[in-house]
Amino acid sequence: MFKGLRKTREFCAAFTAPEGVEAVLCPPFVSLAAALESGHTVFAQNVHWAGDGAYTGEISAPMLEELGVAGSIVGHSERRQYFGETDETVARRTVAALEHRLRVIVCVGESLEERESGQMELVLRVQVEAVGDAVGAHERLVIAYEPVWAIGTGRMATPEQVSEAHAFIKSLLDVPVLYGGSVKPERAAEVLSLEGVDGALVGGASLEVESFEAICRAAAS
């Protein structure tokens, strides 16, 4: 929940993705139109499963499609943690978005308690298969692995942990997998070079043009 119209326009005007890197910007709903003015690829942060109806406060896939948005994040850990998102609703949102020609980044990941109790693979299996059973390995679908314990904490998963999780997800569903969890410029190159890592879902480090561009340059290299 950062950047209204003015700050979104300033960011988009200043940001340039390096050659060979696809960068997607995901501003709040109120700033989507402003971001689209720039010509950058723009995704929403969430999308509802219904085309319309009595769902006050929600935004539908047809609305995003009409606006010109290219896709949406679905099932971000904060949506799961704070707003009651479930594997079922994540799957329903994904289906609706894909049916309306949007691209989708589905977020999955385990909590610290789940990892320490040896349930990482079980949690990922349930989350990934909920989406896989609904839409399969769709060409417009991407999975983002975001270990909840590494989000906004400055604590990043080790290369071994990242590779293990990405390999497991790919064994369940054959789609690109991004890593998200305190991705910083200083460690971006290391993580993005790992086997099975197809990109990054960047949180706090994307709020400043300089740090986001540095991560994009790491991807390009």
pLDDT for the residue 154 = 66
Structure tokens at 40: 């950058």
User: What residues make up the domain containing 83?
Assistant: 5-220
Secondary structure, 3-state, 140-154: CEEEEECCHHHCCCC
pLDDT for the residue 181 = 85
User: Does 76 qualify as catalytic in the annotation?
Assistant: yes
Structure tokens at 42: 């723009």
Q: Are 198 and 144 in contact (CB under 8 A)?
A: no
DSSP string spanning 14-67?
A: H--PPTT---EE---GGGHHHHHTTT-EEEES--BSSSSSS-TT--BHHHHHHH
Mean pLDDT, the chain cut into blocks of 10 residues (221 residues total): 98 96 98 98 98 97 98 97 97 98 97 92 98 98 94 79 96 97 92 96 96 96 89
Q: Which residues contact 84 (CB under 8 A, 6 or more apart)?
A: none
Which entry of 76, 78, 110, 114 is annotated as an active-site residue? 76
| CATH code for position 115 | 3.20.20.70
- Strand, helix or coil for residue 137: coil
pLDDT for the residue 136 = 97
Which entry of 78, 110, 114, 146 is annotated as an active-site residue? 146
Question: What's the total number of domains in the chain?
Answer: 1
User: Does 48 qualify as catalytic in the annotation?
Assistant: no
